[in-house]
Amino acid sequence: DEEILAFNDGFWMDDALWIHDWAWAIVSALFLATILLSVARISLLGFLVLRSRLHTPTTDPGFRPFVSVLIPAYNEDQVISKTLDALLRSDYSDYEVVVIDDGSQDSTRGVVERYSAHSPRVRCLSKPNGGKFSALNLALEQARGDYVVTIDADTLVRPTTVAALVAPFSDPAVDAVCGNVKVGNPRNLLTKFQSVEYITTQNFDRRAFEAMNCISVVPGATGAWKKSAVLHIGGYSGETLTEDADLTLTLLEAGGKVVYAPDALSSTEAPETLRDLYKQRFRWSFGIYQSLWKHRRSFFKGSLGWMALPNMLIFQLFWPMLSPIGDLVFLYALFTGNAHAIVVGYVTFLIMDAVASVVAYSLDKDPYRGMWPILIQRFYYRQFMYVVTFKTVLAALAGRRHTWNKL
CB 397 within 8 A of CB 124: no
Residue 19 pLDDT = 65
CB 341 within 8 A of CB 32: yes
Residues 176, 162: Cα–Cα separation, whole Å: 13
| DSSP states along 230-283 | HHHTTS--SSSS-HHHHHHHHHHHTT--EEEEEEEEEEEPPP-SHHHHHHHHHH
Q: What is the CA radius of gyration of the chain?
A: 24
**Amino acid identity of 269?**
E
The per-residue pLDDT for range 218-234, each reduced to its tens digit, is 999 999 999 999 999 99
User: What CA dihedral angle connects 80, 85, 89 and 94, to 10 degrees?
Assistant: 50
Per the DSSP assignment, residues forming a β-bridge with 101 are: 73, 126
| DSSP states along 223-240 | EEEEHHHHHHTTS--SSS
Residue 201 pLDDT = 86
Cα distances (angstroms) measured from residue 36 to each of 134, 232, 322: 43, 41, 14
Average pLDDT per consecutive 10 residues, the chain (407 residues; last block may be shorter): 48 56 68 76 84 74 94 95 96 96 95 94 95 95 96 96 96 96 93 92 90 93 97 95 95 96 94 93 92 94 91 85 74 68 72 84 88 82 86 84 57
Residues 91, 158: Cα–Cα separation, whole Å: 9
Residues 352, 360: Cα–Cα separation, whole Å: 12
The DSSP element (H or E) to which 49 belongs, if any, is: helix 2-54
CB 149 within 8 A of CB 165: yes
3-state secondary structure of 215: coil
**Amino acid identity of 204?**
F
Q: Could you tell me the strand order of the sheet in which 222-226 lies?
A: 122-127, 95-102, 67-73, 147-151, 222-226, 176-183, 258-268, 155-157
Residues 403, 171: Cα–Cα separation, whole Å: 38
Largest CA distance in the chain: 99
